[in-house]
Amino acid sequence: MDHEEQYERWKQSRAQVDVPDDFADRVMTSIHQTRQRAWWSVLYRVALAVGRSRIARAAAASLAVAVCLLRIGSALAIFIPR
């Protein structure tokens, strides 16, 4: 028996496996969870990259301060007459 025949018999034996009734539901649930995790994994990788680099941490802190000052300024601008 050569390798090709063994391989074909192996493929046939693997093809005869019974599929559980809830197989499709489990696959779809897994796909939806993977999509949600992918978004968080991107944010996690960005956070790790920012945490590793000193310049990136300084840039993130500067951006946070700028956003904070703009928010305070916009809140105070309500009370300034035109």
Residue 16 lies in a domain: no
Domain membership of residue 72 (yes or no) is yes
Q: What is the count of structural domains for the chain? A: 1
**Would residue 55 count as lying in a domain?**
yes
pLDDT at position 81, please?
83
Distance of CA 80 to the CA centre of its chain: 44
Which DSSP symbol is given to 34? Answer: H
User: What pLDDT, on the 0 to 100 scale, is given for residue 62?
Assistant: 96
Q: How far apart are CA 4 and CA 79, in angstroms?
A: 83
Tokens of 34: 């993977």
Report if residue 58 sits inside a domain.
Answer: yes
pLDDT single digits (tens) 27-69: 888 887 766 666 677 788 888 888 888 998 899 899 999 999 9
Q: Is residue 64, in this structure, part of any structural domain at all?
A: yes
Provide the domain limits for residue 53. 40-82
Specify if 47 maps to a domain.
yes
Please count the CA atoms within 13 angstroms of the CA of 71 that sit on its side-chain side: 6
